[in-house]
């Protein structure tokens, strides 16, 4: 393992069945790749106990909890009190993921917007960062995030950002962060890389969103936290930094936003 600055996988799904039977091994592989911390994300609140247990069992693993927008129609609506109560756990470090997905689940747009606003209020009350999923909903996403920020400040990361420059600008104007996933390393993602290149370095995080979206040279395989190092190498090149320099910057950004995991 390199003795340089450590990386953080700011968004993964360690509870997914893709990792059954090998969580200890994949966490060990992540550490060997220089990834010393990771945030595993609960997407349905009924699964929160299992996600929490993974974080409790492993040093350097933290968790966030919320209702994924694609699950809103199938799950009980989360309440602010419920989210605030879960957030009292010392390893629970973020609210979400929440957001809007009109690509697959446009029919539940109204419920998604209601759920998003509830998650925003929980983020305000807990001072924990909001974790946003956005797909094919840029106008509503920018509008709601801006309206809610005017009503009371909160912090936020646009997870696995792959939307338009306009949404990136709206998020950055609110003081939010953009997170690079393996998508940003795909050969066809030159336009997305330019969006990241134009963003302030102190607002950039990296993630895997594993088990999805493995970056080259692992593309086509199941993703895992160790592979965030490949995306970080692409990010370093974008900002004309060495990998160690980028690791130091992105880890400092993570610590600023995810203050409970610092």
pLDDT tens track for 122-170: 999 999 999 999 999 999 999 999 999 999 999 999 999 999 999 999 9
Residue 2, pLDDT score = 44
Domain 7-261 in this protein, CATH class: alpha beta
Q: What are the CA-CA distances from residue 227 to residues 85, 96, 111, 206, 212 (Å)?
A: 33, 23, 34, 11, 11
149 in a known ligand binding site: no
Residue 4, pLDDT score = 59
pLDDT in tens, 58-84: 999 999 999 999 999 999 999 999 999
249 in a known ligand binding site: no
Domain boundaries, the chain: 7-261
92-101 and 61-65 beta bridge pairing: parallel
89 in a known ligand binding site: no
DSSP H helical ranges for 40-186: 48-57, 80-86, 109-126, 138-151, 165-173
230 in a known ligand binding site: no
| DSSP state for residue 154 in the 8-state scheme | -
pTM metric for this prediction? 0.96
18 in a known ligand binding site: no
pLDDT tens per residue, the chain (262 residues)?
A: 345 579 999 999 999 999 999 999 999 999 999 999 999 999 999 999 999 999 999 999 999 999 999 999 999 999 999 999 999 999 999 999 999 999 999 999 999 999 999 999 999 999 999 999 999 999 999 999 999 999 999 999 999 999 999 999 999 999 999 999 999 999 999 999 999 999 999 999 999 999 999 999 999 999 999 999 999 999 999 999 999 999 999 999 999 999 999 9
CA dihedral (63, 68, 72, 77) positive or negative: positive
224 in a known ligand binding site: no
């Amino acid at each position: 393992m390199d003795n340089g600055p450590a990386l953080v996988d700011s968004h993964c799904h360690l509870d997914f069945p893709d990792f059954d039977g090998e969580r200890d091994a994949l966490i060990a592989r992540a550490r060997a790749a220089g990834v010393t911390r990771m945030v595993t994300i609960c997407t349905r609140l009924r699964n929160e106990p299992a996600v929490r247990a993974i974080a409790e069992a492993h040093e350097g693993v933290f968790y966030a909890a919320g209702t994924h927008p694609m699950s809103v129609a199938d799950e009980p609506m989360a309440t602010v009190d419920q989210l605030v109560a879960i957030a009292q756990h010392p390893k629970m470090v973020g609210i979400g993921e929440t957001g809007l997905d009109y690509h697959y689940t446009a029919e539940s747009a109204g419920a998604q917007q209601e759920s998003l606003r509830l998650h925003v209020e929980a983020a305000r009350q807990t001072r924990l960062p909001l974790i946003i999923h956005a797909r094919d909903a840029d106008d509503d996403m920018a509008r709601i995030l801006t309206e809610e920020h005017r009503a009371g400040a909160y912090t936020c990361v646009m997870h696995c950002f792959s939307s338009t420059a306009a949404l990136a600008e709206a998020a950055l104007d609110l003081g939010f962060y953009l997170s690079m996933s393996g998508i940003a390393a795909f050969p066809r993602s030159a336009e997305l890389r330019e969006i990241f290149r134009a963003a302030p370095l102190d607002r950039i995080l990296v993630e895997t969103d594993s088990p999805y979206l493995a970056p080259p040279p692992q593309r086509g395989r199941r993703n895992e936290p160790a592979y965030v190092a490949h995306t970080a190498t692409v990010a370093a090149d974008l900002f004309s930094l060495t990998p160690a320099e980028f690791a130091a910057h992105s880890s400092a950004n993570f610590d600023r936003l995810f203050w409970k995991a610092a």
